[in-house]
Amino acid sequence: MLRRLIVLLALAAQDAPPTSPHQAELQRHQGTWHVVSFIYNGTEADPEIMASIRRIVEDDRVLWTRDGKRFAATRLELDPTTSPPTLKLIPEGGRNRGQTVHGIYRLDGDRLTLCTSDPGEPPPSAFSAPAGSRRTLVVLTREPPAAIDHPEGKPQK
């Protein structure tokens, strides 16, 4: 019986569809990110505020926190097949709930640059957010995975 189950599981794994480019790209975005710079409409955010903001990506959901408290959540759609790659954010709450925010992104290792337009505005074509543009330019870096409590202070494997 056990042998039959193993054979069935192996066959099922072989029939699994390959990961799409979109799914593979979404995997690259997973994790916790902190804000390095944030410019909206030509104005840079206060460095103290930027240091307190985290972007947490789990599957296709993005949770934004400040000082550990949630202040926004969106659903994330990526298209890595365009140049530059594009994204869509769909807010789960607030005044823009359900409206699509269009943007572009650049992911270089653990450094992510996002440029988005306000809902209803045309998607950005460049990584900039000058005064009057109604665009946001954010640069983030990925945080290393949190260490699990361990006698030597190292993550367990």
- Domain containing residue 100: CATH number: 2.40.128.280
How far is Cα 136 from Cα 41, in angstroms, rounded to an integer? 6
Mean residue pLDDT of the chain comes to: 85
Q: Strand, coil or helix: what is 138?
A: strand
How far is Cα 24 from Cα 119, in angstroms, rounded to an integer? 27
Burial of 138 (0-12, 13-18, 19+ CB in 10 A): buried
pLDDT at 14 over 70: no
pLDDT at 66 over 60: yes
Fill in the DSSP letter of residue 17: P
pLDDT confidence bin for 88, thresholds 50/70/90: very high
Fill in the DSSP letter of residue 16: S
Name the token pair of 148: 């699990």
Q: Strand, coil or helix: what is 146?
A: coil
Does residue 15 belong to any structural domain of this protein?
no
Which residues span the domain enclosing 44?
20-142
Q: How many domains is the chain partitioned into structurally?
A: 1
Does residue 128 belong to any structural domain of this protein?
yes
Does residue 71 belong to any structural domain of this protein?
yes
Residues 133-143 have a mean pLDDT of 97
pLDDT at 152 over 50: no
pTM of the model: 0.79
Does residue 104 belong to any structural domain of this protein?
yes
Write down the pLDDT at residue 35: 96
